[in-house]
Amino acid sequence: MSSSGLTKEVLQGMVDKEYSEKYHKYARVQDTYKGKSASDKSNDLHLEAFNMLSKPLKAVQAKYLKDVSKNCYKDKHMAETFTNME
């Protein structure tokens, strides 16, 4: 937990509240029933997929960038006269 007392659960609650206030401005029939609307379910699945894939995709991106920075510009292509300017 951080020194400010904001846990990830508290922050997620703040995000959920902001989403609800932004997209549920008006009374809906769905509000009279238990459960979530199709839009809310879709949003939850989207966030779950994003959270599940974000760490592996960041790792792939980091590996790619390291490979590019290591192998992209060979020494034989770089010279004092080549300034990369057009």
List, for residues 26-76, the tens digit of each pLDDT value. Answer: 777 766 777 777 888 898 899 899 989 999 999 999 999 888 888 776 655
Contact 53, 44 (CB under 8 A): no
Contact 36, 44 (CB under 8 A): yes
In a domain, 85, yes or no: no
Task: Residue 13: give the domain boundaries.
Answer: 8-77
In a domain, 50, yes or no: yes
pLDDT at residue 25 is higher than 70: yes
Q: What domain count does the chain have?
A: 1
Top pLDDT among 12 and 83 is at 12
Work out the pLDDT band at 85, boundaries 50, 70, 90. Answer: low
What pLDDT score does 1 carry?
46
pLDDT at residue 6 is higher than 90: no
pTM for the predicted model, two decimal places = 0.43
